[in-house]
Amino acid sequence: MSDAPSSSTDAASGDAPPASSRPHEGISGNGQTASADGEAPLPPPGSPTSWTRMLWPLALSLLALGAVAAFTFKPGAFWTVARTVNPWLLAGACAVTALRVFVGGWRFRFISDGRLGLAEGVRGQLAWDFLSNFTPTAIGGGPIAIVYLARDQNIPVGEASAFMLFSMVLDQIWFALSIPLLLGASSFFNVFPDVAHGFGHWTFFAVFAGMLVWAILFSYAILFRPQLLRRLAGWVFSLRPLRRFRRRVVREATRFSERAHRMREQSVPFYLKSFLLTIGVWMGRYLLAVIVVWSVYPALDVVLATLRSAALHMSGLLMPTPGGAGGVEGLYALFFGPLMPAALMAPTLLVWRFLGYYVFIGLGVYLSFHQARQELERQ
């Protein structure tokens, strides 16, 4: 966490010293609340969390899980292996899930320099994970979670977008660094499954190379060409269904362009600590599947499983379905199936998806009620 006191007010003034000569101040840029700066009330989050949009990804995920179970699950073989389950490792899987959310909240607190408290940061991370389950994985829940952050902390949308988009930039930097590492590791480990007689390897290489290019372009655009975001927002919100929000969104995008300058001004230690927290978030994702399988299969090759888990998550980013539902289950069978007895595939898949997917849907519903109660109290 940042130990420096919040100095958002100084940053908003015109005579603040340059970032290179002052301690870390986060990327807030102002300390006003949404009501203080004369902004109109925030629009509701919209329909992505409606029951229809919640139920069909769940049904798709359970259908894929059932298909894996139908082809691989054998009760007799499962119970023979399951008797050796390690409860400490299963508890560790739960702890890794909780720790990942905590580190994500810590990251929000750090990059905002305390503008978001740890509790608010954790709720923001939970909202991000929850909303990611109902948007295509290539988009993620970040853009929608911006609205949640703003409403939860009663801050301007532009300020919340700065925190969220900087977190997304950190994720893209992580992808840009980890993709070459995975491709390099494939020379020494069988990171990518043997599918389609070698064609699958070239497919993975091509896809990962494309993701690398996208990660670099995204990070560059946000940090160095934020005016592109303003132009894109103006074009998207010129569409008829979104036209009524255009003026507000363009105004917030302009404010974000100003905050992007503050992102570039941050010190090297600020970037290093932010990036270390980002590594913690993603290692928590990677290790969850590894620990779940390891808890019932002690002979697991942990190093190879960790590399495959990273490759699985990278591949999952390309799934067109909300939260990767249906496709991620297939990727799990593809990447982890050869590393364990077939009878364990469906049970471990269920535990992995429960801790990494279903739990966050339940927590997201709770957050929705929590925010509704907060807004009633404000009124």
4-8, 47-51, 349-353 — which is least confidently predicted? 4-8
Q: What pLDDT, on the 0 to 100 scale, is given for residue 36?
A: 35
**Greater model confidence, 121 or 253:** 121
| pLDDT for residue 370 | 66
pLDDT tens figures, 324-359: 788 899 899 999 999 998 888 888 999 999 999 889
Average pLDDT score over the chain: 77
Beta bridge partners of 322: 136
Residue of 201 and 71 predicted with greater confidence: 71
pLDDT-based confidence at residue 156 (cuts at 50, 70, 90): confident
The band of 19, judged by pLDDT with boundaries at 50, 70 and 90, is: very low
pLDDT digits (tens, 9 = 90+) for 178-198: 888 988 898 899 888 876 445
The answer, yes or no, to whether residue 38 has pLDDT greater than 50, is no
DSSP 70-139: HHH--HHHHHHHHTT--HHHHHHHHHHHHHHHHHHHHHHHHHTTTSS-HHHHHHHHHHHHHHHTTSBTTT
User: Do residues 73 and 343 lie in contact, with contact meaning Cβ atoms separated by under 8 Å?
Assistant: yes
Instruction: Compute the average pLDDT of residues 269-273.
Output: 92
Token pair for 283: 């290692």
Percent of the chain whose predicted confidence (pLDDT) is above 70: 70
Query: What is the average pLDDT across 304-310?
Result: 96
- Confidence category of residue 229, pLDDT binned at 50, 70, 90: low
In this prediction, residue 105 carries a pLDDT of 95
Residues 6 or more apart from 333 whose CB is under 8 A from it? 68, 72, 345, 349
Strand partners for 136: 322
For 136, phi then psi, to 5°, come to: -55, 140
Q: What is the largest CA-CA distance in the chain?
A: 73
SS3 at position 237: coil
Indicate whether 5 pLDDT > 80: no
Tens of pLDDT, residue by residue over 344-353, are 888 899 999 9
Residue spans of the domains in the chain: they are 43-378
Say whether pLDDT at 242 is over 90.
Answer: no
DSSP-assigned states of every residue in 139-201: T-SHHHHHHHHHHHHT--HHHHHHHHHHHHHHHHHHHHHHHHHHHHHTTTS--S---GGGHHH
pLDDT number for residue 307: 96
Q: Of 96-100, 313-317, 359-363, give the range with the top mean pLDDT.
A: 96-100
Q: What is the pLDDT of residue 17?
A: 40
In the chain, the N- to C-terminal Cα span, in Å, equals 32
Q: What average pLDDT score do residues 252-269 get?
A: 71
pLDDT at 245: 63
Rg of the chain over all Cα atoms, to the nearest angstrom: 22
Mean pLDDT is lowest, of 98-107, 135-144, 293-302, for: 135-144
Task: Look at residue 46 in the predicted model and tell me its pLDDT.
Answer: 43
pLDDT in tens, 87-118: 999 999 999 999 999 999 999 999 988 888 89
pLDDT of residue 297: 92
Instruction: Considering only residues 339 and 52, tell me which one the structure prediction assigns the higher pLDDT.
Output: 339
Minimal CA–CA distance to 143: which of 135, 153, 151?
Answer: 135
pLDDT level of residue 20 (50, 70, 90 thresholds)? very low
For the chain, counts of helices (H) and of strands (E)? 15, 0
The pTM of this model reads 0.77
